Amino acid sequence: MPVSKSLITFLAALSAVSVHAGESTSSLAPLAPPDKTEATVDAKLGPHRFRFPKNLYYQQSGPDADGGVMLNVQWPHLRPLPLGVDYHDSNDNFINHISIDLSTVEHLSDDQYRALLRRMIEPLDPEKPTPSEKVLDDLSARIQGDTSHGLTRYSVDFEKFRDFYITTYGTHVRPPDPIQNDDWYVHIGVDGIPTTVIKCTPVAQTDGVRIESGRIVDIPGRSRRATCRHQFLVPEYGLLVSLSYPRVILPEWQTMEMFVRKTLKATKAK
């Protein structure tokens, strides 16, 4: 089935979107517009059906066998690779890929769905948190940092964590490493409920990559890359969206959310 005209128009417009603070895609050669005969594969997410281009899928084949839907685009244009090109084929494509996991959320009331992201920054049972959850998995126990790009960073209180670790495991074991505990970046809505939760490699670890001419490139001599797991809701379709990408592009989180929302709207099957 052909790609809808609205999707073609939308994807073509993406090449003009600013992609990084101080940079724009104009420094890069624009990607070719999508082929109007490009194959599409339908995906069913709850009661909704979407018609995504085949090459937009993570494996370029369609939904997973269990019905799961994962998409894959490249930074900075937020466009998929051509059909037949695997993002694993080159280091450049690999470090510039952004995975987009679309999940339905079932058996929740409207209020439970709205509060879903709050459950990701509190203990599994808020009334009976475990000792480790009190230190690591409770937003209120973390150290609140600066707010930047609409996100507030919350870091593990390492002094409390070290005390917990020594009390639990003793002094004869290897001490805890701050780099093993993600920083949380949270955007709170007007009603006090989180609308975006992003968990990233802590700032104690450098990015390991940098932006050059809009693309993400490795920094020589750095073996680790800092990454983020970014989650938000799309209420009109009852979806939980999870993105994975290098931390260096975290400031563009709103651009990525907008891309997902517009893509869903453009590919919604009539």
Delimit the domains of the chain by residue range: 5-267
Task: Extract the tokens encoding 162.
Answer: 């070290």
The more confident residue out of 16 and 107 is 107
Task: Extract the tokens encoding 213.
Answer: 């001419």
Q: What percent of the chain has pLDDT over 70?
A: 86
Q: Which residues contact 136 (CB under 8 A, 6 or more apart)?
A: 156, 161, 181
Per 3-state DSSP, what percentage of the chain is helix, strand, and coil (rounded to 5)? 30, 30, 40
pLDDT surpasses 50 at 264: yes
Give the model's pLDDT for residue 7.
47
Question: Which range has the worst mean pLDDT, 35-39, 88-92, 238-242?
Answer: 35-39
Question: Which range has the worst mean pLDDT, 2-6, 38-42, 203-207?
Answer: 2-6
17-27, pLDDT tens digit by residue?
Answer: 333 333 333 33
Give the model's pLDDT for residue 37.
53
90-135, pLDDT tens digit by residue?
Answer: 999 999 999 999 999 988 999 999 999 999 999 887 878 887 888 8
Distance of alpha carbon 232 from alpha carbon 234, whole angstroms: 7
Task: Extract the tokens encoding 208.
Answer: 């390991």
CB of 123 within 8 A of CB of 131? no
User: How would DSSP label each residue in 122-175?
Assistant: S-SSTTS--HHHHHHS-GGGSEEEEEETTEEEEE--HHHHHHHHHHHH-SSSPP
**Helix/strand number for the chain, H first, E second:** 6, 12
173-189, pLDDT tens digit by residue?
Answer: 777 777 788 999 999 99
Q: Which residues contact 103 (CB under 8 A, 6 or more apart)?
A: 68, 69, 239, 240, 241, 242
